[in-house]
Amino acid sequence: MVKVFQIGFNRCGAKYIDTLFELNGYRSINWAGGQLAEDIFYSRICGEKPLSRWADDFTVFSNMESIHNASMPRMEGFKHYEFLDSSYENSLFVLNTRNVDDWIYSRYNYRNGEYASLHAFHLKVGLNDLNEIWRKEWECHVRCCREYFSGRGNLIEIDIDRFEHDDYVRSFSRWFDFQKIPPSPSDKVLLNRRNYRTYAKKLISSEVIVGLRKENARVAAKIISDHCCASKDAGQPKEISAWSNLVVTGNTASGIFCDRLGNRLPIIRDEAGYFYFRRWHDKAMRPVGVLNDIAALKLPWARDMELVIDMQDARLAGSSPAQPVISYCRRAGAPNVFLWPLPEYHSIGSRNFLTYSAGDDVAFKDKEDRLVWRGNLSGHCSNVEAGIFENQTYLISKQIVEDRHSGKDVSHYADILRKNVRFRVVEDGFGEPDYDFRLTPSPKGREALTALAKEHLISGHKGAEFFRRYKYILSMRGFDTGSNFISAANTNSVVLKEEDGWELFYTPLFKPWIHYIPLRAGCTDIREKLEWARSNALKCEEISRNARASCEILMDRGVRAQFLEDIVRSYGEFARA
């Protein structure tokens, strides 16, 4: 079977091509969470055949890039068409194009500006600079494709602005007999495309330009790094107590890394010193992201370091002084856990963290006077307020679904879920005019809640604009601290944050009553704190300004590079000692 590789840039109608093949009985795989591009890069370094794990099941491969993690290199796998061509005999390549200006504006708008923000972070440029950079990359890629495939007979060029239905059938007729054609884009899609230019210009004009004075940047970096390295305790017993199934151990000089059982992991380094991988775990990008964060610092003395990295959620215990661990969270007092930003989630440019666009243009006084929250059904069904972390929600949800399918009564699980902070807060607040709380669970969680007749507590995911409508945003624990805290703090709203006992790298920049309104563990005082906020509007605006100022510090690339260097140095010195 002929393999088809889409090698145009994203935002050029790849999904239409996928649908065309799917309608005619050919399977297509698009993006796969970035795994297609990751596999191409890993295979090139290893000298292996790319995409082999999917080759037996799919005909079409599209959107082969991975840009969504600032801790990983930009991986544009579609640009390695020569490698794909030599690996798959008689393969077909599709160079899909469109009006270049429209393509650029579409990219700016993709994922509400996050995509552009991540490109800007990777390239160390401003949002406005991307226009010319992308234009040059486009011209170079199209030219090189045409030069390479000239005379080969296995390249199809598709201009999505000009192609009609018959053009698709005709272009592929040598290889495929298409009987069905997808419908043209809807009027709504076409209207959105016409608005791309306006949206893009708004995004660029709202760019946050951060550049602290050198002395202020150094002070800020030291505050963060001192906190991240504060758990050093050489007196702890020489035993390991905090390693999860996501732990990575190894040496930066050899480039060999293993799991906690000593099995070598599929991690490989290229000539430039950056690391690539094949996913052995659904969160494998986290530890590899840390390796690339360290590699990007270009520190000579970091080229030969023993490392223990554990980026699993909810690290409850510490580690021995003989093997200190790098993690993104720790409990207060946990020994020898060095904090690090969680790759992808705490990356500058990520919508979960901080993007380059200011975004919130709604003044505090003009926002809706309610407290809002959306989030997954995550965490533990136990007395976490007392430090008891048992009965993880995803396991409870799984058991509910299994019991329901077996015909068992599941009503008693409602009382178990009541022990989960998120579930309890949402259920108690449902229907209250002052609150807008809903759960956005996984498919398994949704099925479990439906089995308990709790589907009224479920909502779809909401974008940033939704939350900015409200004066007050709730941040409460999941498995560890609330993942929405930083994105909420970087708005004109004020955050009501649960004091959950977790420490992250940014913790010292945010203090209760200065940067957020604190809630007791378990969020049992929401009503009381909301009433205080409503009676102290000017203080709330001050708290919100302070929080945004701390977010600006976290946006500063120089500050980030400095505190990461300090953490690496402190970790290395302590580990060697």
What is the tens place of the pLDDT at every residue in 55-64? 999 999 999 9
Q: Give the residue-averaged pLDDT of 566-570.
A: 98
Tell me the HSE value of 150 on the side-chain side, using a 13 A CA sphere.
Answer: 6
Q: What is the pLDDT of residue 431?
A: 96
For 229-279, what is each residue's pLDDT tens digit?
998 887 755 555 558 999 999 999 999 999 999 999 999 999 999 999 999
Burial-class residue 143 by CB neighbours within 10 Å (0-12, 13-18, 19+): exposed
Q: What is the pLDDT of residue 208?
A: 73
State the Cα–Cα distance between residues 474 and 135, nearest whole angstrom: 41
For 398-409, what is each residue's pLDDT tens digit?
999 999 999 999
State the Cα–Cα distance between residues 362 and 369, nearest whole angstrom: 13
**Greater confidence, 463 or 440?**
440
Beta strand ranges found along 128-223 (DSSP E): 155-159
Cβ proximity of 479 and 395 under 8 Å: no
**Average pLDDT of the chain, as a whole number:** 94
Instruction: Say yes or no to pLDDT of 322 above 90.
Output: no
Q: What is the pLDDT of residue 236?
A: 59
Q: What is the DSSP letter of 117?
A: H
CA angle 478, 484, 485 (to 5 degrees): 100
* C-alpha 141 chain-centroid distance: 27
Q: Give the residue-averaged pLDDT of 46-60.
A: 98
Cβ proximity of 24 and 165 under 8 Å: no
Q: Residue 511: CB partners within 8 Å, gap ≥ 6? A: none
Instruction: Say yes or no to pLDDT of 467 above 80.
Output: yes
Q: 214 in helix, strand or coil?
A: helix
Cβ proximity of 295 and 73 under 8 Å: no
Q: What percent of the chain has pLDDT over 90?
A: 84
Q: Mutual orientation of helices 443-451 and 393-405 as an angle, nearest 10°?
A: 60
Segments making up each domain of the chain, as ranges: 4-205, 214-349+558-576, 364-555
Contacts 24+ apart (CB under 8 A), 20-23: 20/168, 20/178, 20/181, 20/182, 21/59, 21/60, 21/176, 23/180, 23/181, 23/182
State the Cα–Cα distance between residues 348 and 561, nearest whole angstrom: 12
Asked whether this chain's domains 4-205 and 364-555 adopt the same fold, the reply is: yes
Alpha helices in 392-484 (DSSP H): 393-405, 413-417, 421-429, 443-451, 464-467
Q: Classify domain 4-205 by CATH architecture.
A: 3-Layer(aba) Sandwich (3.40)
Cβ proximity of 264 and 325 under 8 Å: no
Q: Residue 519: CB partners within 8 Å, gap ≥ 6? A: 476, 496, 497, 498, 499, 525, 526, 529
CA angle 509, 514, 518 (to 5 degrees): 95
State the Cα–Cα distance between residues 491 and 443, nearest whole angstrom: 30
Tokens of 144: 């090189």
State the Cα–Cα distance between residues 420 and 381, nearest whole angstrom: 4
For 85-127, what is each residue's pLDDT tens digit?
999 999 999 999 999 999 999 999 999 899 999 999 999 999 9
Fold of 364-555: Rossmann fold (3.40.50)
State the Cα–Cα distance between residues 438 and 374, nearest whole angstrom: 5
For 343-374, what is each residue's pLDDT tens digit?
989 999 888 898 877 679 999 999 999 999 99
